[in-house]
Structure 1
């Protein structure tokens, strides 16, 4: 009996040890799953656009800015973002399909056949609580607006955004200096050459942040240009009340002896949980003939005012928009096919995010 009793004690002890070991392993796996999460997000957008003071036909009269320039019913893009967030490391794979996506990655493909669908592709390492290293292709840190229509209040984009950089490929280090201050330093390929470096030229980037206000600097030689590009940019905004927000953007760019400069204000008022109204007022000017405004005349300028509504229905945002572009030189035509300094247009966009 004593032998049997001791044997049962040994068996029960082994079973208890295995149970505790399994529980420990399961707990570790559970903790690992908690710190590593795969998420899928993205958006789909489409729009209707019409000129009010110019023809709506194959002449394709439109503002000289990016993305929302096609006549009639038109497609934006489908955007699918897969991200994996670990305790120490992770990645982002941001894929785009459609006209807006193609325009956003205009400098690709250079090498691969899939370059025209990769908006962002990078991995990161949280070296410490205050330092993160990121390598790969990431959207630019300059400017108030971004490629995704979900993050922009206005659907059409500004001149400053359209002619500033869209994306970079390189290595950047983000430093959380304090609760209020942040610093980013980067070394990157030539602007918008996102797949590889074709000529050994590199560009440096810097961003200094303080309580949601950012000073951005870009400097370096670019592929196909003799002189380096220098751009300094301020992006920020202020909550003037619970309902009223004012965004601000100003930039100066010098690229191979030509360039541009400008400033924009983005007042936005929230009337309810489902409706907000925002205005973008932008002044943009060329140094020399940069080619952004399309007049063919040196030192041209444009003043553009865009009024946009945001009406939310669950995850769908409906954006009706009126826009007036007024240039210093004749950059457009009117309904009589005469040269004109102004263009009025209307669009309505459906933007669904998930």
Structure 2
């Protein structure tokens, strides 16, 4: 498995070299990606048997250890009306380990994106394959987020959608996507493409982007999401993500909102704040008994210090819950947790 993967990448790299040599600058195969590593310390000193710390959002969960994120490789090409994107990740920061309570020991390669597109007209395109989800604000790759740790909304929503979609651009300010998809995060699905998804994109004024998203189906459930960001000045950016999810058959769900504020102090240094409130809904357990939901609030301050393709991210995070969902070093439950993190991300 691993040897075959290495040979595949060697072949792709050789093919890319050949394309440059034969085609010059005309539609070459493009290769990009990132690598990242981090250190995190939970101030409670708590560490689970698997080495993870208190806060149960995706990734960056190893306690008091210099740990890896992932090697992310993206290949893409556009020839005429046709295009493709293929993205594969090695390391624990990938979609197979993105859910709550996930293990950080996942080192096998994982497909992040694998899809092809065709422009039927200048306004209308069709895309089929396995795609990073259109729902939500944050993404898997650390290069797409300001904060290195992730939100509860990200952790509990879909990460990827396999299916087919149509994108229509009415103008530079309005576009619509509709599609049929498998259940969340599945390459293949015995239920068929049982989920329907849609996204309306609007630009009310210059610098302000609004995405209205929805995906619904059985047994996935239904999520409605708004993601918006406004570049208020050259230095100040404000973003918002709000979502509501309902699982089928009284299976509960969640609702929440996260506010993102970022300010560039210099050309190479910016500070960002993420404030989130996340609530799980009441649900019926296997015996039919009703279980009440609860709320957790999380506040994260991150810095982004850039030097060319390198970004250094110091981060302080504090989470507080209505219930005792966190732990102290002596394994006693508590209502709050805090952590300090340092990450380095290199994009190429």
Q: Same fold (TM over 0.5)?
A: yes
2:39 pairs, out of 28, 43, 48, with 48
Equivalent-residue separation in structure 1 for 2:270 and 2:96 (angstroms)? 28
Equivalent-residue separation in structure 2 for 1:169 and 1:44 (angstroms)? 25
Equivalent-residue separation in structure 1 for 2:150 and 2:283 (angstroms)? 21
* Residue 196 (structure 2) aligns with: 204
Q: Structure 1: which 4+ aligned runs deviate by more than 3 Å?
A: 32-35, 56-59, 102-106
2:57 pairs, out of 65, 76, 81, with 65
Equivalent-residue separation in structure 2 for 1:290 and 1:351 (angstroms)? 42
Task: Give the gaps of 5 or more residues in structure 2.
Answer: 1-20, 100-106, 204-208
Equivalent runs, 1:216-227 vs 2, <5 Å: 216-222=213-219
Equivalent runs, 1:113-262 vs 2, <5 Å: 116-194=109-187, 196-200=188-192, 202-211=194-203, 212-222=209-219, 229-256=221-248, 257=250, 258-262=252-256
What is the root-mean-square deviation of aligned Cα atoms in Å? 2.3
Offset of residue 333 of structure 1: 1.5
With normalisation by structure 2, the TM-score equals 0.83
With normalisation by structure 1, the TM-score equals 0.82
**For each residue in 1:59-113, what CA deviation from the matched residue of structure 2 results, as whole angstroms up to 9, or x when unmatched?**
633212111111211110000001011220011110100011263577xxxxxxx
2:288 paired with 1:288: no
**For each residue in 1:157-198, what CA deviation from the matched residue of structure 2 results, as whole angstroms up to 9, or x when unmatched?**
00001110000100011111112101000101111112x122
Equivalent-residue separation in structure 1 for 2:82 and 2:25 (angstroms)? 14
C-alpha change, 1:115 and 1:190, in structure 2 (3 Å) is farther
Equivalent-residue separation in structure 2 for 1:53 and 1:255 (angstroms)? 33
Contact 2:255 2:280 in 1 (8 A): yes
2:341 paired with 1:350: no
Offset of residue 116 of structure 1: 4.9
Equivalent runs, 1:289-304 vs 2, <5 Å: 298-304=292-298
Offset of residue 36 of structure 1: 2.4
Total equivalences in the alignment: 308
Equivalent-residue separation in structure 2 for 1:271 and 1:64 (angstroms)? 31
Q: Please give the secondary structure, in 1, of the residue aligned with 2:93.
A: helix
Equivalent-residue separation in structure 1 for 2:315 and 2:40 (angstroms)? 9
Q: Please give the secondary structure, in 1, of the residue aligned with 2:29.
A: strand
Offset of residue 200 of structure 1: 2.8
Contact 1:102 1:116 in 2 (8 A): no
User: If you compute each CA radius of gyration, which structure gives the higher value, 1 or 2?
Assistant: 1
Offset of residue 335 of structure 1: 3.4
Offset of residue 206 of structure 1: 0.3
* Residue 4 (structure 1) aligns with: none
